[in-house]
Amino acid sequence: MALSTERKGEIVSEYSRGKNDTGSPEVQIALLSARINELGEHFTAHKRDHSSRRGLLKLVTQRRKLLDYLKASELSRYQEVVSRLGLRR
Residue 59 confidence (pLDDT): 97
Residue 1 confidence (pLDDT): 62
Residue 2 confidence (pLDDT): 84
* pTM, 2 dp: 0.93
The residue type of 37 is N
Residue 88 confidence (pLDDT): 86
Divide the 89 residues of the chain into consecutive groups of 10 and give the mean pLDDT of each group.
Answer: 90 93 96 95 94 96 98 97 91
